[in-house]
Structure 1
């Protein structure tokens, strides 16, 4: 028989905090992804893409999930978390997000040969599964005095939400030259993460066994304290890098000045997403 479960035991403010955290992490990540798209060297492109994956995967996805889990409560049972599976969920979120972004803008020749819409679709699907994989690996880390099961229909619905919204967010990040356009992209991605989380949580069925031993592992607060510190550090690095970096217009002007001083003739320079610039 299914036991009572609370998802907002600490109040509705936790939902708002989870969404804001996800949106901020996604905005920083999408801004870094835009810098990667405009980078002239593979080293700079890799550096910006890595910061984007850490911001989106580490903060926008993982930290949001565990903020939301602060409101998860099962009356009559303590809740603990397996550290190994929790760390796995972080690695999965960041790695899969990195792969999705790299497919969208990569130096690998056979991938660059694919149409941009195909790369967008594949990247979005991978990022959507990254959000879902992070959520369900994080839920696999939950330990209670009894059993916890996931409803298959809710799992399917949550994965679909993550994939569709990730594709939309990646498309917006690709065409968003101005920060004002990246804001809705981050809002969409934040909605995707939060909607996936609570859709999956709605399908949870819990059976409490009073005779079962108390669960072992870490409490949510023990996990979140270092999580917040790491999350702030993960956001601080790309934010400082974004503030210190030159704008795309500045880079174009510097490049044109260098070409003019060097006296080079017209030559086509390859740019991300198949665009070219005459120099």
Structure 2
């Protein structure tokens, strides 16, 4: 018997909240990588680690916020705590591999291709590991083609994000890149969910033990969300990143200003140009007479 799947049981609330968290993690991660690459005064390993953790937490939080809206009408869903925590560690680790690779080696084709592939496969592994943590009175099956498509989307999204991390260093371009990154990661998640089907067991089973989504996921989401908020505070008040924002704004203002004419306004020449020779001779004669009168 096939189960009736509803991935949007709370309407647009969970997809929108999941997208916002993916964008937030991506934005913070990109700004941290920018801070490490384009500022010589930065402690590169620390900022790269902060960026990788921000992106990983954003992806993981996006996944499980979206999963709060997932249900199978004929059975309850529970989650295994160990696999859920392990999926968070996998997300941070694989993103860290890609971020450190491009942070130290740049975005040449080979490095970007390898790092993007490893990171994308890792993000997909986090997704399906999180799905493996889900227990219900049935068997979860996947459509092979749709799963492959979701992995491909993850690789493209990861490669694009790593390229943007070291190639885009203005505030507004980074913001736009994070919005696109959030859309790609959310698209990968819901593509993977489209591959899911549930074959229900005819009799109740004692094998699907665990905690309910609300009792497990909501408390576990508090930690990553608090971390992202604190990371946002660090990024917002970092003086070098603030300087980068101001430089971006100043550059835009300068590009918007019309080109000034090299000709000086009428009447202004007398303020900057030396007097003509005749005037200088007259001043010299007057000065000599004054000195002569003062002498006698």
1:44 maps to: 43
TM-score scaled by length of structure 1: 0.81
Q: Measure, in 2, the Cα distance between the counterparts of 1:75 and 1:89.
A: 25
2:84 maps to: 86
What aligned pairs does 1:71-220 form with structure 2 within 5 A after superposition? 71-106=69-104, 112=105, 116-214=108-206, 215-220=208-213
SS in 1 for 2:73: coil
Deviation at 1:103, TM superposition (A): 0.7
Deviation at 1:156, TM superposition (A): 0.4
**Cα pair 2:3 2:74 within 8 Å, conserved:** no
Kindly provide the CA deviation profile for residues 212-256 of structure 1, in whole angstroms up to 9, marking residues without a partner as x: 3252111111222223321222113322221332226969xxxxx
Q: Measure, in 2, the Cα distance between the counterparts of 1:219 and 1:208.
A: 18
Change (3 A) 1:104 1:146: same
**Cα pair 1:32 1:238 within 8 Å, conserved:** no
Q: CA RMSD in A?
A: 1.9
Q: Measure, in 1, the Cα distance between the counterparts of 2:242 and 2:153.
A: 36
Deviation at 1:169, TM superposition (A): 2.1
* TM superposition outliers: structure 1 runs of 4+ over 4 Å: 248-251
Figure out how many residues of one structure are paired with residues of the other and give that number: 243
**Cα pair 1:56 1:97 within 8 Å, conserved:** yes
1:17 maps to: 17
Deviation at 1:44, TM superposition (A): 1.0
**Cα pair 2:90 2:122 within 8 Å, conserved:** yes
Q: Measure, in 2, the Cα distance between the counterparts of 1:250 and 1:192.
A: 30
Q: Measure, in 1, the Cα distance between the counterparts of 2:197 and 2:236.
A: 46
Q: What stretches of structure 1 of length at least 5 have no aligned partner? A: 107-111, 252-279
TM-score scaled by length of structure 2: 0.77
1:229 maps to: 222
Q: What stretches of structure 2 of length at least 5 have no aligned partner? A: 245-296
